[in-house]
Amino acid sequence: MSDIASNIISIKKQVPGSVTVVAVSKTRTVSDILEAYDTGHRVFGENRVQELLAKKDLLPGDIKWHLIGHLQTNKVKSVIPFITLIHSVDSFKLLKVIDSEACRAMRTVDCLLQFHIAEEETKFGFSMEEAEDMLASEDYAGIRNIRICGVMGMATFTDDEGQVRKEFRILYDRYLKIKNNFFADSESFKEVSMGMSGDFKIAIEEGSTMVRIGSFIFGARK
Ligand SMILES: *Cc1c(COP(=O)(O)O)cnc(C)c1O
């Protein structure tokens, strides 16, 4: 068995069955992805639209593609026909563009709201205040073709487990608050996308329902 195949089997043994493993295939080749696919895995994540579009046509049609990286509004249209879940909605402007393109394509697109929880300035995402203001706004009430399925966040890149755990707790807390205040009747609002190769165990302890795993499966990126 290939390393990639045994790694993906290994990660699934380390994760409860209720938690979705998104195999993050950015920078990996089509044949790397096929090695994971051949174990039966179907959920893959990419962070760049260009790369996703280039690879997806060379791969089986039953892959569930998740977009996990920052999405520019001018790239939205190209992913709408096939994307399974967009983890990285980080502004109302982007949400509106996704909604109008989804409407034109006559589909409903599942999205997560990305929150800024890390100390680093560079990570995208809503603050709690921004998200609450948006969800309470009249403009948001006009959104028709998006289903908000939960939240996503990235912890600070650090060896300090306490810091990482604290940030995941903040995200889970925001998830609960938003669920109670805006999605109490929604059956779809149930995902907490947090945890990567280095911190997925902590993330699961703190309530993650979706882990995004790249290097653990495919090896270190160059
Ligand atoms: C690359 C990436 C991951 C996976 O990172 P690994 O440390 O390789 O597991 C997860 N989430 C996002 C948003 C990423 O860009």
By residue count, the chain amounts to 222
- Cα of 65 vs centre of ligand 1, distance in Å, is 15
Helices (H), the chain: 3-14, 30-37, 49-56, 76-79, 92-104, 128-136, 138-141, 161-182, 200-205, 215-218
The answer, yes or no, to whether any atom of ligand 1 lies below 6 A from the CB of 198, is yes
pLDDT on residue 221: 86
CA of 135 to the centre of ligand 1 (A): 27
Could you report the per-residue pLDDT of 123-142, keeping only the tens digit for each?
A: 689 999 999 999 999 999 99
- Ligand 1: distance of its center to the CA of 58 in Å? 22
Q: How confident is the model at residue 120 (pLDDT cuts 50, 70, 90)?
A: confident
Decide: 212 in ligand 1 pocket, CB within 6 A.
yes
Phi-psi region of 214 (alpha: psi -120 to 50; beta: other; left: phi over 0): alpha
The per-residue pLDDT for range 44-81, each reduced to its tens digit, is: 999 999 999 999 999 999 999 999 999 999 999 999 99
73-88, pLDDT tens digit by residue?
999 999 999 999 999 9
Residue 44 Cα to chain centre, angstroms: 10
How far is CA 186 from each of CA 37, 71, 191, 192, rounded to the nearest angstrom?
A: 32, 25, 12, 15
DSSP 120-168: -TT---B-HHHHHHHHHSHHHHT--SEEEEEEEE---SSS-HHHHHHHH
Closest ligand 1 atom to Cα of 68: 13
pTM higher than 0.85, yes or no? yes
- As a whole number, mean pLDDT of residues 19-26 equals 98
Cβ-count burial 177-212 (b if 16+ within 10 Å, e if not): ebbeebbeeeeebebbbbbbbebbebbbebbbbbbb
pLDDT of residue 8: 97
Look at residue 124 in the predicted model and tell me its pLDDT. Answer: 86
